């Protein structure tokens, strides 16, 4: 198996340009930003269909996911339910998250549709998947020998039950540590991402964009990707990835790169994640820039290959080299491969004997 190493050199604007290092936030004209990521409610549905539980005991198993980069506070589960009007005490619905009881609701025959909101604690808001169990206990008539498993003993869990994520302004912030979030994430959220390329893209730029789309869809098959050329870019109204060679930009992207103080150097690939802000609106943008098509082709795998993406960090990186160790000849093994040293063959000469294929060694 190939052993692959990645060499990432932090890109320091102060050292490279002699200017004060820029912050991650970039103030832009209000006309450039469309709807804000803060205005886009982040929700995950817990179920895509109506769930009906029947008494006397029944349960439903659901899951939700807290994406990378999300805030660890102010997350909320919203359960929409309706129960039979024949239920009496001690009928109940208990919500259990990650095997921990969170809340028990009394069901007393009120058949109106109701909503319960569950505030998640720190562990329940941690990044990753979490299990939700809704346990129903229904009683219609008191008595030891009374049958409770009738058609009138039920509770419904509606499809608009959901996880509501905290406002993005409270999130951990923009960082390559969380890539490919916020451009793609697994779960039930409906993500939209734009990939911006030059007006007359080279084959290297098209290939880089297509590979990036492919990687995002391995993380979230439902993510919607829109390709936009620089001249077509009227507003940035969704998380956006800008891919190209510096000299091919002539309009809005060129202006943005200059405003952010970003420029690829030599044969390095520049990755810079920024938050564009204007008039209370904001959108995350990832710049993937190179000074040459060759550099873009050779290093774009840093954001399209999981071997490398898991090693990204910070908000700005200049990728100088993606190096592979030399591949051993697949059909030749020496004793050294098995932890043995050289052996004496004769006349005081030592050698590490070469084994070809899987033949017998005598």
CA 170 to chain centre: 17
Q: What is the pLDDT of residues 182-212, one digit of tens each?
A: 888 765 456 789 999 999 999 999 999 999 9
Contact at 8 Å (CB) between 164 and 119? no
Q: Are residues 117 and 159 in the same domain?
A: yes
Cα 290 from Cα 267, distance rounded (Å): 7
Bridge partner list, 60: 134
Q: Are residues 86 and 174 in the same domain?
A: no
Cα 274 from Cα 248, distance rounded (Å): 21
Q: Which of 259, 256, 341, 283 is nearest to 22 (CA)?
A: 259
Q: What is the pLDDT of residues 256-283, one digit of tens each?
A: 999 999 999 999 999 999 988 887 788 8
| Residue-averaged pLDDT of the chain | 79
* Domain extent at residue 104: 43-164
Q: Are residues 108 and 11 in the same domain?
A: no
Supply the DSSP string of 125-146, one letter for each residue: GSSEEEEEEEEEE--SS--TT-
Q: Are residues 136 and 206 in the same domain?
A: no
Q: What is the pLDDT of residues 77-102, one digit of tens each?
A: 999 999 999 999 999 999 999 999 99
User: Where among 164, 186, 209 does a domain terminate?
Assistant: 164
Q: Which helix (H) or strand (E) holds 212?
A: helix 203-219
∠ at Cα 318 (315, 321), nearest 5°? 135
User: Where among 140, 164, 188 does a domain terminate?
Assistant: 164
Q: What is the CATH number of the domain that holds 244?
A: 3.30.379.10
């Amino acid at each position: 198996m190939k052993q692959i190493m990645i060499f990432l050199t932090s890109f320091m604007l102060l050292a490279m340009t002699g200017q004060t290092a820029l912050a991650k936030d970039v103030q832009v004209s209000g006309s450039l930003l469309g709807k804000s990521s803060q205005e886009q409610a982040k929700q995950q549905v817990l179920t895509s269909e109506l769930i009906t539980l029947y008494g006397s005991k029944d349960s439903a198993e659901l899951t939700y996911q807290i994406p990378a980069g999300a805030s660890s506070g102010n997350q909320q589960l919203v359960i929409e339910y309706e129960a039979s009007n024949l239920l009496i005490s001690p009928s109940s619905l208990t919500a259990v998250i990650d095997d921990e009881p969170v809340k028990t609701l009394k069901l007393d025959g009120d058949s109106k549709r109701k909503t319960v909101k569950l505030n998640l604690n720190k562990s329940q808001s941690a990044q990753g998947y979490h299990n939700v169990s809704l346990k129903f206990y229904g009683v219609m008539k008191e008595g030891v020998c009374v049958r409770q498993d009738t058609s009138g003993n039920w509770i419904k869990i509606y499809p608009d039950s959901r996880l509501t994520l905290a406002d993005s302004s409270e999130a951990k912030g923009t960082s390559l540590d969380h890539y490919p979030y916020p451009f793609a994430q697994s779960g039930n959220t409906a993500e939209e991402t734009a990939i911006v390329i030059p007006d007359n893209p080279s084959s290297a730029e098209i290939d880089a964009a297509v590979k990036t789309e492919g990687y995002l869809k391995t993380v979230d098959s439902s993510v919607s990707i829109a390709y936009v050329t620089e001249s077509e870019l009227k507003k940035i109204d969704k998380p956006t990835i800008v891919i190209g060679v510096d000299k091919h930009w002539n309009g809005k992207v060129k202006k943005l790169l200059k405003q952010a103080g970003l420029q690829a150097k030599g044969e390095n690939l520049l990755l810079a994640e920024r938050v564009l802000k204007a008039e209370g609106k904001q959108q995350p943008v990832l710049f993937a820039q190179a000074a040459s098509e060759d550099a873009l082709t050779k290093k774009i795998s840093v954001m399209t290959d999981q071997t490398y993406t898991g090693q990204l960090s910070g908000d700005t990186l200049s990728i100088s080299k993606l190096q592979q160790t030399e591949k051993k000849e697949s059909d030749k093994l020496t004793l050294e491969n098995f932890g043995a040293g050289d052996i004496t063959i004769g006349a005081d000469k030592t050698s590490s004997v070469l084994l070809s294929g899987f033949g017998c060694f005598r």
